[in-house]
Every structure is written in C-alpha cells, then in structure tokens.
Structure 1
Amino acid sequence: MAYDLKKEEEVKEYIENLGIEYRFGCYKEKNPEVCHLLGDYLEAIKKDYGKAATVYKSNCLDYNYGKSCLKYGNYALIGRGRDKSDPQEALHIFEKGCELNNPTSCLHAGLLLTSTGPNVTVQRDVPKGYNYLKKSCDNKESMACHYLSGMYLTGVPKNPKEYNPHNPEKNAKLDFLIKPDLKQAFQFALRGCELGHVYACANVSLMYKKGDGVEKNLDESKRYFEIAKSLQNADETTKELKFQQGLDNK
C-alpha cells in the first residue's frame, strides 16, 4: 500500500503498521536486526523507554546483538526506562557488547574502568580498561584513540589524588600504572585524527609545533591545524542542518 505522507491520518497509519511489522519480525521471526529497530521505534516514536529497554536488553543477552548492548548499557548507565542508574550493570552490558565487537561498547567499558572522581562507583581497573580502549581504537572508534593519547600524555598514576598537573617534578616520582610516553601519545592522537576526531587533530598539530613525541615540524603543525579547523566547521554545519530540518525533534 502506498501512503501519502502529507496526510496526517496516513502518517499515523504508516507508523502503527511499522510497529506491527517490527513486532512480528522480532517476536515471531526472531530477527535481531528487527528487534533493534523495534527498540528504536519504542524509544523514538512511542517514547516508551521501559519497553525499549526490555527489547534492547533481550536482544543483547538472548540474540547477541552488539548495538542493542550499547543501547541498553547506556540506559542502565543514565537510568533511562528504570528507577535509577546502575553503572555496574552498565559495565557488564558494555563488556558483553565489546565481546560482540561493538567498538563503542568497548569505549564505554574502558571509560568506566579507568575513570576517577567522587561520583564514580565502578571499581577502577586500568589495565582491563586500557585493553577495552585499545580494542575500540583498533576498531576505528576515534574517541578511544583520543582518550588513549591523553592517558599517555600525562600518564595514569596509581593514586590519582597524588597527581598535580602544576608540579611535574613531584609527578615524576609517582607510581604510574601507565607511564607518560609522548611517542605513544602522538601515535594514538594521529590515529584519532585519521578517524576524524577534531581534538585529536588539534593535539597532533600542537605536538608537531612543540616537537612532543615527534620531530618538530611547523609545516605539519599548520596542516593538522587546518584539518582540525575543517572538521570543526563540518561538525558545526551538520548541527545547524539538523536544527533547521528538525531532525533532533522526536
């Protein structure tokens, strides 16, 4: 049946039929891709986050669908579709998604395991978190590469409370889980830039300018600065287009 999407009633009918098709494909045909679409439908169209969470969780755990692990992990982390957040469950789900080769799930698992601060409730495990971040970067998640670069820029102290960014002499005497390594920092920043991360490109430009982790090269510094500026402009243009077209209004 052809729908005239300029007519409100036909739009409503189309949306309802879409939901029916997704439910059939998920519950009857047990197609994980369609189950994920059903979760997206319940989230974006119906605004029923509780049911969406149930679908994403089942699709992750029962059908081993990595994208749904990422979605449900985010729900658990921020408390969407439930009474409160559960970072520990979120970590478990992100780890599951990472095992299923979803690079963003690897990123989130790595961030949870390496983060510090008063509101962090997940037990810190830097070596394990590093491995998740490395897998994420290797699978073309630019943010993971950028984050790894930052870890090598400053190092990761065993006791973060002892680290003082304004006292490099004292910091040099600390016990580090990951020691500062500017060459590694540069390589990860370069990889992040190649994958389109604007701040990674900015760091590459700065490191070329200073000669940190790479031979000083002002021409390359300028080139990567221009790449960073181009990426930033493109991002701002995309945001403007989305706003004008109403794509963020669900």
Structure 2
Amino acid sequence: MAYDLKKEEDVKEFIENLGIEYRFGCFSEKKPDSCHLLGDYLEGVKRDFAKAAKVYRSNCDESSYAKSCYKYANYNFLGKGCKQNMDEAYDYYLKGCSAGNADSCLNGGLLCVSNTPVNAQREKDYKQGLELLDKACLGNNALSCYYISGIFIQGVKDAINKDMSKAFSYSLKACELGNMYACANISQMYHKGDGVEKNEEKSKEYKEKALDMQKQLKEQMEIQFQQGTQKL
C-alpha cells in the first residue's frame, strides 16, 4: 500500500502500521532488532516510557541486545519509565558494555568514578572505572579517551597516580577521534614537554587542529540557529 505522507490520515495509518510491524517482529518472530525498534516506537511515538522500559529490559535480558541494555540503563539512571536506581543502571551498563556498546562502557565507568550528586551514594571504584573507560576508548568513544586523559593529568588522591605519558596517549587518541579539547591538550603537552618530548612544530600543528575544530563547531551552531529561526 502506498502512503501519501502529506495527508494526516495516511501518516497516522503509517505510524500505526509501524507499531504493528515492530510488535510482530519482536513477539512473533523473536527478532532482537525489532524489539529494540518497538521500544523506540513506544518511547518516541507513543510516549509510553514504562512500556518502553519493559521492552528494552526484556530485549537486553533475553537477547543481550547492546542498544537495549544501554537504553534501559539510561532509563534507570534518569528515573524514566521506572524508579531511579543507580545500581540497576550500573548493572545494565555493564551488560551493554559486555555486549559491545561503547557508550555503556563510558557511562558505567563514569558511575564508578564520578562525584555527581545523583551518584553520591555509590562507592567509588577507580580500578573498575578505568577498565570500563578504557574499554570505551578502545571502542573509539572519544569522550572516554578524553576523560581518562584528564584523570591521569590530575591524578586521584590515594587512588590513581598522575601519569603524563598515559595522559598524552589517551589525549592523542581522543584528538584523533575528533575531541577538540584533547587536541588543545596535546598542543600544550608538546609545548611543555609533558608526557612527550618537547616539539614546538607539533604543538603548533595540534593547536591549529583544535582551532579548526572550534571553527567548524561554531559554523555548525550558526547553521542550526539560522534553521531554527527560519521555522519560527
């Protein structure tokens, strides 16, 4: 059947049929990707977060579907569709991480090392946190690489020694993955000879790289702002 997506009735029918398709794929055909799409449908279209949470959890538990583990963990972290539960969030970030989701590794690692108010009651585990953050970094999560570099730049009293060589290594990867702040840090490290042999030419190269990223980001924000004002 062809839909005219300019007509409101056709759009509504198309959306309803999507839900039917995802339910069939999930419950009848037992397809994990269909179950995850059903969760997204319940979340984004129906705005039924409680049902979406149940679908994500079931798909994680039964199929180890990494994205569903990550979404259910986020729901617990935010208290969305379920009661806020940091321990449950952490457990499902671990499941998502084990299933290969780098964002799950990042968030699980952050729960081990962060001092945010929402996470204040959890006991810190820097060893486990670094392992999870490193796994996320290996999965090419730029923020995780940058976060670890910051830990080694500052060190953590009675837990992690300052190590500029490791900081440089993680900053370099974060920069290569597109993290502007990591590129700026690499420039400073080359300039000062922190964790790497001093090299003014390299320092200039990474400074220009960071500035170029900053320029691109500014241009993107200006385009988004202009598009937003045009819709008003």
- Mapping 1:156-167, distance limit 5 Å: 156-158=156-158
Shift of 1:221: 1.9
1:68 counterpart residue number? 68
- Mapping 1:218-233, distance limit 5 Å: 218-233=200-215
* One-letter identity of the residue aligned with 1:231: M
> 2-side partners of 1:212 and 1:43: how far apart?
47
Partner SS for 2:17: helix
Partner SS for 2:63: coil
Shift of 1:97: 0.8
* One-letter identity of the residue aligned with 2:136: S
Cα deviation, 1:43-80, whole Å, max 9, x if unaligned, reads 11111111111111111111100111111111100111
Shift of 1:232: 3.2
Structure 1 unaligned regions, length at least 5: 159-176
RMSD: 1.8
2:6 counterpart residue number? 6
2:39 counterpart residue number? 39
Q: Tell me the TM-score normalized by structure 2.
A: 0.91
* One-letter identity of the residue aligned with 2:115: T
Q: Tell me the TM-score normalized by structure 1.
A: 0.85
2:112 counterpart residue number? 113
2:55 counterpart residue number? 55
Indicate whether 1:79 and 2:61 are aligned: no
Q: Answer 1 or 2: which has greater helix percent.
A: 2
Structure 2 unaligned regions, length at least 5: none
> 2-side partners of 1:2 and 1:217: how far apart?
63
2:99 counterpart residue number? 100
Identity value in percent: 52
1:171 counterpart residue number? none
- Mapping 1:70-219, distance limit 5 Å: 70-82=70-82, 84-116=83-115, 119=118, 120-158=120-158, 177-219=159-201
* One-letter identity of the residue aligned with 1:19: G
Shift of 1:245: 6.0
* One-letter identity of the residue aligned with 2:110: L
- Does the C-alpha gap of structure 1 residues 33 and 237 become closer, same or farther in structure 2, counting only changes over 3 Å? farther
Shift of 1:2: 1.7
Shift of 1:244: 6.1
Partner SS for 2:84: coil
Shift of 1:189: 0.2
How many residues align structurally? 227
> 2-side partners of 1:29 and 1:205: how far apart?
53
* One-letter identity of the residue aligned with 2:3: Y
- Does the C-alpha gap of structure 1 residues 25 and 240 become closer, same or farther in structure 2, counting only changes over 3 Å? farther
My pick for the range that moved more, 71-80 or 224-233, is: 224-233
- Does the C-alpha gap of structure 1 residues 157 and 239 become closer, same or farther in structure 2, counting only changes over 3 Å? same
Shift of 1:218: 2.4
1:165 counterpart residue number? none
> 2-side partners of 1:245 and 1:4: how far apart?
26
Shift of 1:237: 4.3
- Does the C-alpha gap of structure 1 residues 67 and 224 become closer, same or farther in structure 2, counting only changes over 3 Å? same
